């Protein structure tokens, strides 16, 4: 146990051995919000990306993340830390880049949590209005959702895992039902193998499709965040990583291929482009019936809440890891004596998220046109950048140890090249990621650079002024 900076006593740390493979899988896949990805991101990828090549783009995304994961799971036995990107980049590329990456991680997960809460606010308002005709402000739902997220995160991590598991299964069952309905309707012959041909996949718009492919897979990398709370982490985390990757990736490939087949590969780009927001709902109404529209509406609400909860837990554990390593004030490393949750970090995070929601409400911002685009772009590019940086940090770490091989060096480096290319596409096509042309929204990407620079500056200043404190950055819980 660690000294308690608040009381001078001891704080119990995160709960050991609480999470099994599927507990972690449920949490990280729920962060990806499968229903939200299918209903909101895939239609845009069809419309503005490579059209019928979108299933192939998701397959490329899965391959790139598989290459990354080969190295990612190899470094786990050597570095045990709740701040995954932070610890791995520190180990491979140094404390300065590691601390900068940690701050970008906190910003990215927090931005994505707030963005999904604003979407939750919109869908809550819209669902109640469609069912009862009662008008409620979106921010009331968003603030209520933020409070509920904070309450759940305060308790044992197993409670969060159970809640996310139930919500995720409901999403997957609905979408698998849609996939099967399309298959029965169009038959196996309606699924064009040519959708995966290189000429289709690598056609015009692949860069845009990859942006949405990687955005839809965000969260898969967060398995390592829970390794301190996992049962037999050296087995559980690698297995959970690959299960989550193939579950989410395979699911996105299958569903995007089904959606394309439902309207015809040659027509999907034009049909999705006519009304991206109604694309999936229209197909669902045709193949499942009108009842599915109401079910989709309810489950999108639960999907956004589940994603917000998972992202919130990720950010809180990064803050906890930073405070434990003396990069942030030590009180933030306090864990609850009963629930073993990083509750002090969690409540500070909740206060920040609530401030964003209140400020957006007072400014009269629209949740889907202003708040969500502004925050989702920052979070997505931030995590894609860190995924690429970690992909390069892993082979450097192993090369320094004299361990060179396919899984430890070549595979993650190749995966990093693909992720870095997609990140570059996201930056140069940033308005396509946010979905708006607002110059204020699209200038917020610079917050990531500022945050990164702050981390570098703090590390450099600390190295000069306090060598002992600097030495602790990124090393807490590292196994020699």
DSSP 20-39: -HHHHHHHHHHHH-HHHIII
Indicate if the pLDDT at residue 3 is higher than 60: no
At 158 the pLDDT is: 67
At 5 the pLDDT is: 40
Tell me whether residue 7 is in a domain: yes
Number of separate domains in the chain:
1
Tell which wins on pLDDT, 73 or 139.
139
At 17 the pLDDT is: 63
**Mean pLDDT value of segment 18-24:** 79
In angstroms, the CA 298 to CA 295 distance is 5
Indicate if the pLDDT at residue 220 is higher than 70: yes
Lowest mean pLDDT among 16-20, 50-54, 191-195, 273-277: 16-20
At 48 the pLDDT is: 85
Mean pLDDT over each residue of the chain, to the nearest integer: 85
In angstroms, the CA 198 to CA 244 distance is 26
Tell me whether residue 407 is in a domain: yes
- Residue range 185-194, pLDDT digits in tens: 988 888 989 8
- Residue range 27-72, pLDDT digits in tens: 788 877 788 888 878 888 898 889 999 999 999 999 999 999 998 8
In angstroms, the CA 390 to CA 276 distance is 34
At 82 the pLDDT is: 58
Q: What is the DSSP letter of 401?
A: T
Residue of 409, 396, 388, 400 whose CA lies nearest to 70: 409
Q: Which span out of 27-36, 102-111, 429-438 was modeled with the highest average pLDDT?
A: 102-111
**Mean pLDDT value of segment 368-374:** 79
In angstroms, the CA 460 to CA 251 distance is 44
Tell me whether residue 479 is in a domain: no
**Mean pLDDT value of segment 143-166:** 80
In angstroms, the CA 253 to CA 170 distance is 19
Binned at pLDDT 50, 70 and 90, residue 80 comes out as low
**Mean pLDDT value of segment 461-479:** 77
Q: Is residue 99 within 8 Å of 473, Cβ to Cβ?
A: yes
In angstroms, the CA 67 to CA 409 distance is 10
Tell me whether residue 456 is in a domain: yes
Full residue range of the structural domain in which residue 55 is found: 2-472
Q: Both ends of the chain: CA-CA distance in Å? A: 19
Domain holding 228: CATH number?
1.20.1740.10
Indicate if the pLDDT at residue 98 is higher than 60: yes
Tell me whether residue 480 is in a domain: no
Indicate if the pLDDT at residue 2 is higher than 60: no
Tokens 């970008």, located at residue: 104
What's the predicted TM-score (pTM) here?
0.85
- Residue range 379-431, pLDDT digits in tens: 888 988 999 999 999 999 999 999 998 889 999 999 999 999 888 888 888 88
**Mean pLDDT value of segment 107-126:** 89
Indicate if the pLDDT at residue 81 is higher than 70: no
At 270 the pLDDT is: 92
Taking phi over 0 as left and psi of -120 to 50 as alpha, with beta for the rest, 474 belongs to left
Indicate if the pLDDT at residue 83 is higher than 70: no
Q: What is the DSSP letter of 264?
A: -
Tell me whether residue 158 is in a domain: yes
Q: Is residue 297 within 8 Å of 124, Cβ to Cβ?
A: no
Q: What percent of the chain has pLDDT over 70?
A: 93
At 155 the pLDDT is: 73
Indicate if the pLDDT at residue 317 is higher than 60: yes
Q: What is the DSSP letter of 19?
A: B
At 4 the pLDDT is: 41
Q: What angle do CA 427, 104, 428 make, to 5 degrees?
A: 5
Q: Is residue 307 within 8 Å of 32, Cβ to Cβ?
A: yes
Indicate if the pLDDT at residue 223 is higher than 50: yes
Tell me whether residue 478 is in a domain: no
Indicate if the pLDDT at residue 15 is higher than 50: yes
Long-range CB contacts (within 8 A, 24+) of 136-142: 137/361, 138/367, 139/357, 139/358, 139/360, 139/361, 139/367, 142/117, 142/118, 142/357, 142/361, 142/367
In angstroms, the CA 308 to CA 118 distance is 10
Cα 349 to chain centroid distance, Å, stands at 17
Helices (H), 264-371: 268-274, 276-287, 291-324, 343-362
Q: Is residue 79 within 8 Å of 87, Cβ to Cβ?
A: yes
**Mean pLDDT value of segment 432-442:** 79
**Mean pLDDT value of segment 66-90:** 81
Residue of 374, 62, 46 whose CA lies nearest to 217: 62
In angstroms, the CA 13 to CA 335 distance is 6
At 312 the pLDDT is: 87
**Mean pLDDT value of segment 290-310:** 84
At 302 the pLDDT is: 83
In angstroms, the CA 291 to CA 383 distance is 37
At 156 the pLDDT is: 66
Tell me whether residue 404 is in a domain: yes
**Mean pLDDT value of segment 103-111:** 92
- Residue range 168-187, pLDDT digits in tens: 888 888 899 999 999 999 88
């Amino acid at each position: 146990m660690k000294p308690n900076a608040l009381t001078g006593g001891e704080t119990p740390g995160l709960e050991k051995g609480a999470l099994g493979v599927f507990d972690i899988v449920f949490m990280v896949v729920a962060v990806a919000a499968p229903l939200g990805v299918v209903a909101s991101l895939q239609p845009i990828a069809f419309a503005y990306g490579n059209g019928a090549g979108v299933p192939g783009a998701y397959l490329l995304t899965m391959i790139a993340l598989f290459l990354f994961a080969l190295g990612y799971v190899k470094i786990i036995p050597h570095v045990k830390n709740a701040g995954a990107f932070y610890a791995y980049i520190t180990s491979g590329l140094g404390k300065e880049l590691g601390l900068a990456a940690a701050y970008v991680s906190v910003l990215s997960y927090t931005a994505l949590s707030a963005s999904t809460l604003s979407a939750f606010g919109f869908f809550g308002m819209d669902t109640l209005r469609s069912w009862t005709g009662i008008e409620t402000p979106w921010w009331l739902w968003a603030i209520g959702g933020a409070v509920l997220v904070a309450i759940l995160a305060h308790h044992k991590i197993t409670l969060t895992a159970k809640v996310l598991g139930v919500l995720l299964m409901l999403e997957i069952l609905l979408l698998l039902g849609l996939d099967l309905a399309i298959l029965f309707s169009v038959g196996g012959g309606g699924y064009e193998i040519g959708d995966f041909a290189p000429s289709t996949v690598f056609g015009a718009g692949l860069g845009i499709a990859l942006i949405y492919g990687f955005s839809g897979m965000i969260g898969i990398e967060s398995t390592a965040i829970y390794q301190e709370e996992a049962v037999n982490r050296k087995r559980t985390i690698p297995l959970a990583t690959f299960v989550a990757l193939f579950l989410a990736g395979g699911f996105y490939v299958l569903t995007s291929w089904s959606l394309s087949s439902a309207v015809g590969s040659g027509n999907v780009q034009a049909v999705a482009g006519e009304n991206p927001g109604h694309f999936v709902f229209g197909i669902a109404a045709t193949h499942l019936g009108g009842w599915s529209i109401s079910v989709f509406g309810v489950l999108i609400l639960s999907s956004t809440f589940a994603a917000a909860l998972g992202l919130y837990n990720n950010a809180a554990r990064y803050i906890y890891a930073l405070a434990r390593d003396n990069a942030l004030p030590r009180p933030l490393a306090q864990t609850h004596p009963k629930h073993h949750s990083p509750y002090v970090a969690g409540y500070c995070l909740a206060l920040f998220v609530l401030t964003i929601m209140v400020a957006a409400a007072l400014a009269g911002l629209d949740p889907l046109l202003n708040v969500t685009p502004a925050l989702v772009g920052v979070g997505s590019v931030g995590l894609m950048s860190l995924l690429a940086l970690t992909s390069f940090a892993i082979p450097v770490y192993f090369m320094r140890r004299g361990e060179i091989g396919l899984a430890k060096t070549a595979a993650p480096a190749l995966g990093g090249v693909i992720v870095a290319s997609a990140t570059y596409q996201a930056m140069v096509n940033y308005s396509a990621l946010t979905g708006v042309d607002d110059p204020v929204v699209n200038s917020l990407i610079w917050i990531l650079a500022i945050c990164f620079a702050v981390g570098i500056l703090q590390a450099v200043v600390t190295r000069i002024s306090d060598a002992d404190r600097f030495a602790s950055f990124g090393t807490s819980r590292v196994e020699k």
